[in-house]
Every structure is written in structure tokens, then in C-alpha cells.
Chains A and B, each alone.
Chain A
């Protein structure tokens, strides 16, 4: 079974509108972290936002917010007031395990969503 599922291969949004990118995950580990990355055409993966499994509140970073629904195992990214520069691939990723597991921040990625922001 896929650990990270992103069901939207491509999305369009008009400039200044909000958009939600879907992500569902699968893990039996009670301690995990969820990440969203942006990958422009240049190739670099840019960290956007992080949500820990024990965090009580949804994470927010500027125009990015994470709609974390633990019971449904979903971690959707919401981008408000879209800008042309937001056009890129967006990846949801998960780290399983927390303290004492060691092994670094091994991430499992989804297949990504290509977002295009239009005028």
C-alpha cells in the first residue's frame, strides 16, 4: 500500500485565489511527521511546512497552512492568495518514528501535484 497518496496529478488556480492540494497517508506508527515541499522547474526541493503527529494545532507558515485531520489520515496543503510564482510541483512527505528511532529524517514522498497559477 502507498504510504503517501496525492490524488491530483495537476491543478489550476487563478491568481489571488486559494487552492487545496490533497494528501493522505498511511502509517501505524503513533509518532510521525508530515512535510510539504515545493519543486520549481529548477529542481530544488523547497521546504514549506511541517506538521507533527502530536501537534494539537494545524501548522501555518505565511500563505501556507496545513489542514491536518488525524482520524482521516489526511494532511492537505492550503495555499492562500495564489501567486504566479507558486506554479510548481508540490510533494507531500512523511517521516515515521520519533525519538530514539534514529536513522535521520527519512522521508517517504508522494507522486506530487503540478500546480499552475493563471492570471
Chain B
């Protein structure tokens, strides 16, 4: 099993649809993240969860709604999206370094390629 698994890999949805992206990590990490990667732009951090609590919402529109039921699972619920929301959505996890004092890398999933039509 890979460390961070995202489903689905590809998603096409209409602007009135509701869908959810799923992320699962098998690494025992305590922090999970959603990033958005649009063409020609740097990755943008959307949400951060530490020990299942949301610690960061980077001014993300409310049509994106995250959910973290436990430290291994992270969801991104989507509704009434716009065509400009089409992008690669990447989930990541890491062991929060604030306790250990070590910086540890974030492990990423393969992403969900989202197209809004």
C-alpha cells in the first residue's frame, strides 16, 4: 500500500453537482493537508488539520468543505464549483515537527484531477 492514497484519480463534475474527494494515509502521521495545483501556478495550501483539528483555512471559498473524521482520513466536499476550480488537488500528510523539534517532509498522494464543466 502506498503511504497516501487519493480517490478518485480523475473527476469530471458539473457546476451543480456535489462530490467528495477522499484521502487516506497509512503512515501514522498527525497532520494532513489539502493543496490545489493549477496550471502555471505554485501549489496553494488550502487546509491544514492537526490531530483532526483544522488549524488553517487559507481563505478558501465555502464551496470547498473539508472534513477530517480521524487522523488517517481527510475529505474535501465539493459543491457548486466553478470552471476555474478545475485543477489537481493534492493531499499530503506529515508528522508535525513542533513536538519533536525535527522538520519532517510531507508525503503526498497522486492527486485528483478535477474538471468542472
Contacts and interface: CB of A to CB of B under 8 A. Distances in A.
A43 B56 contact: no
B106 A107 contact: yes
Interface of B: 31, 33, 40-43, 45, 48-50, 55-56, 88, 90, 92, 94, 96-98, 101, 103-111, 113
Interface string A95-117: 10011111111111111100000
A105 B88 CA distance: 20
Contacts, number: 83
Contact of A109 (B43, B48, B97, B103): B43
Contacts of A105: 31, 33, 94, 96-97, 103-106
Given A43-B113, A50-B103, A104-B56, 4 more contacts: A44-B108, A93-B43, A109-B42, A109-B43
A98 B92 CA distance: 19
Given A4-B42, A109-B42, A111-B40, A103 B48 contact: yes
A104 B55 contact: yes
A47 interface: yes
Contact of B96 (A50, A102, A107, A109): A102
B45 A98 contact: no
Smallest CB-CB A-B distances: 8 pairs: A104-B31, A45-B108, A33-B103, A47-B105, A109-B43, A105-B94, A43-B111, A44-B110
A106 B43 CA distance: 11
Contacts of B109: 44
B108 A98 contact: no
Contacts of A93: 43
Contacts of A95: 103
Nearest to B112: A43
A42 interface: yes
Contact of A102 (B98, B108, B110): B98
A46 to B, nearest CB: 8
A50 B104 CA distance: 8
Contacts of B42: 4, 91, 108-112
A47 B106 contact: yes
Interface in A77-96: 91, 93, 95
